[in-house]
Structure 1
Amino acid sequence: MPAAERIQAGRVSSTGVDAVSDVMELLTRGELTVRGRIREASNAVLYCSVSYEGRAAACVYKPVAGERPLWDFPDGTLAQREVAAYEVSEALGWGLVPPTVLRDGPHGEGMCQLWIGGGPEPGSGSEGGEELLALVEGAEPGEGWKAIGFADVGEGRTALLVHADDERLRRLSVLDAVINNADRKGGHLLTDDGRLYGIDHGVTFNAEDKLRTLLWGWAGESLTAEAVGVLEALRDGLVRGAPLALRLGKLITGAEVDALRARVEALLSSGKHPVPSGDWPAIPWPPV
């Protein structure tokens, strides 16, 4: 894409600034060209370039035709849920999910999302050297870390799995609680130029409580004042007939939108981060 301005992580690299609306237009109207496939994924995930009117970016395209049916997510598509997660992230104002749209592509309708970081080949990821997860010896996480739980590291040994006590992760844990994320793994955490992004939101918004995450470090702690404020704004945005509620109603079922409202109300009522229910594994497998 030598003749186009390259957009990465929501910015035009040649100027350092870019409106999210420009990125969304690029993802929605641009020409998609498949460059490769992410073979580690359980569903079809294609690494693409997208170009439109002199702008270009790398993106990920997940066609609905490549989705494997899930018995506990029988309604709608994973692609629609990914877009719904982006809508809620934007409504919270934290920008935790890369720009994401639902569009037609080379293999039919699917989710198209701005690629974060380097290319898909090994060693070009977007972690940026930041350590967000770790295994430590002993029973205490240490300063700057939050405990998740003990992990089997082989030969009859265990180690404490921890995540960083990072405000960005704390915000993401709130988003996950809101969208009922059933699969927040370590590999779904990306950083780029100091920003944190969460990806892979296909198994979200179930009407039943299915929260499975690595971000349990704040379980039972009070929500920050900032979190309470954005949740109150989200509650207003979910009122029946509001633009956000109408957009979500085209992506997930009515029962799932109602459950979303109920989760937001429950978080505001308790004023605390949720705790594992004990009714199912609280941590996804594999964790990374």
Structure 2
Amino acid sequence: MSELALLAEGRMELLGMIRGSSNSALLVEVCHEDRSVWAVYKPREGERPLIDFAPGLHRREHAAYLLSEALGWGLVPPTVVREDGPFGVGSLQLFVQHDPLAHYFTLYDEVPESHDALRRIALFDVVANNADRKGGHVLHGVDGKVWGIDHGLCFAAGYKLRTVVWDFGGDPVPEDLLDAVAPLADAVPEQLAGLLTSPELLALQQRVRRLLERPVLPVDATGRRVPWPLL
């Protein structure tokens, strides 16, 4: 059974609460027969009401995973929507074993070989219109892989990009990354499209078309398009 199937079908057992999250984030163990994994469960009932995002951030978490898979980048851990969670419907994302002291800033400053992955995250956030890329939302897995998590505030129709990943601003988008996003200008995978409203879907495609017309990573001229806290 794949990790994705295990998340979708396994029995969930609560282990505890993950501190520091603005919305409820619970650590669970997901079991099926002789297999088990840890995962992060974010129930809709635990969401803090927001003015600019409708309830149901768990769908955006799942949409971010689907976008990452459509691009072939594997940046977002396997994520599903579960209707039968302990506190109702919510997202369930594979827990990544990672270095708890590492984050975007340490990776950028101390691990130069991570820059290609960080650049992909920068472009991913432009396409997804991520409004909350904190430094702690970039993980360094124990296997050396760089992951992006916490995508509940993505895919708004209006421009809301807020991120700490501005170090690549003004750089040309590498051709292979541009080739990966280009198909979205014409068609968005059905499962991903089904999680977005019509204005959100149109805006995603418009963002991709702008990148194709001017393949350069954006610069924050104001210095204000950063989330708070930074980590």
The Cα of 1:190 is off from its aligned counterpart by 0.7
Percent of counterpart pairs with the same letter?
A: 42
Q: Give the structure 2 partner of residue 28 of structure 1.
A: 8
CA shift in 2, pair 1:98/1:271, >3 Å: same
Q: Give the structure 2 partner of residue 133 of structure 1.
A: 105
Q: Give the structure 1 partner of residue 25 of structure 2.
A: 45
For 2:212 and 2:111, the matched residues in 1 are separated by 25
TM-score with structure 1 setting the length: 0.74
Q: Give the structure 2 partner of residue 274 of structure 1.
A: 218
For 1:99 and 1:210, the matched residues in 2 are separated by 25
Tell me, yes or no, if structure 1 residue 70 matches structure 2 residue 50. Answer: yes
For 1:29 and 1:131, the matched residues in 2 are separated by 31
**Contact 2:103–2:138 (CA<8 Å) still a contact in 1?**
no
Q: Where in structure 2 are there 5+ consecutive unaligned residues?
A: none
CA RMSD of aligned residues (A): 2.1
**Contact 1:185–1:213 (CA<8 Å) still a contact in 2?**
yes
For 1:132 and 1:39, the matched residues in 2 are separated by 19
**In the TM superposition, what whole-angstrom CA distance separates every residue of 1:145-174 from its partner, at most 9, and x where no partner exists?**
5xxxxxxxxxxxxxxxx9957111001101
Question: Is the partner of 2:199 in helix, strand or coil?
Answer: helix
For 2:76 and 2:59, the matched residues in 1 are separated by 14
Q: Give the structure 2 partner of residue 222 of structure 1.
A: 172
**Contact 1:133–1:163 (CA<8 Å) still a contact in 2?**
no
Question: Is the partner of 1:215 in helix, strand or coil?
Answer: coil
**Contact 1:43–1:66 (CA<8 Å) still a contact in 2?**
yes
CA shift in 2, pair 1:70/1:131, >3 Å: closer
Q: Give the structure 1 partner of residue 78 of structure 2.
A: 99
For 1:131 and 1:177, the matched residues in 2 are separated by 19
TM-score with structure 2 setting the length: 0.91
Question: Is the partner of 1:51 in helix, strand or coil?
Answer: strand
**Contact 1:185–1:214 (CA<8 Å) still a contact in 2?**
yes
The Cα of 1:132 is off from its aligned counterpart by 4.1
For 1:219 and 1:266, the matched residues in 2 are separated by 15
Q: Give the structure 2 partner of residue 151 of structure 1.
A: none
The Cα of 1:40 is off from its aligned counterpart by 1.6
Q: Which of the residues 57, 80, 85 maps onto 2:59?
A: 80
For 1:69 and 1:130, the matched residues in 2 are separated by 30
Q: Give the structure 2 partner of residue 213 of structure 1.
A: 163
Aligned residues: 227
For 1:24 and 1:259, the matched residues in 2 are separated by 28
Q: Where in structure 1 are there 5+ consecutive unaligned residues?
A: 1-20, 118-125, 135-143, 146-161, 239-243
Structure with the higher fraction of residues in strand conformation: 1
Question: Is the partner of 1:116 in helix, strand or coil?
Answer: coil
Question: Is the partner of 2:210 in helix, strand or coil?
Answer: helix
Tell me, yes or no, if structure 1 residue 286 matches structure 2 residue 213. Answer: no
Tell me, yes or no, if structure 1 residue 201 matches structure 2 residue 201. Answer: no
Question: Is the partner of 1:36 in helix, strand or coil?
Answer: strand
Tell me, yes or no, if structure 1 residue 262 matches structure 2 residue 206. Answer: yes
Q: Give the structure 2 partner of residue 173 of structure 1.
A: 122
The Cα of 1:230 is off from its aligned counterpart by 0.5
Q: Which of the residues 168, 183, 204 maps onto 1:233?
A: 183
CA shift in 2, pair 1:115/1:256, >3 Å: same
CA shift in 2, pair 1:235/1:53, >3 Å: farther
Larger Rg: 1
**Contact 1:100–1:112 (CA<8 Å) still a contact in 2?**
yes
Q: Give the structure 2 partner of residue 186 of structure 1.
A: 135
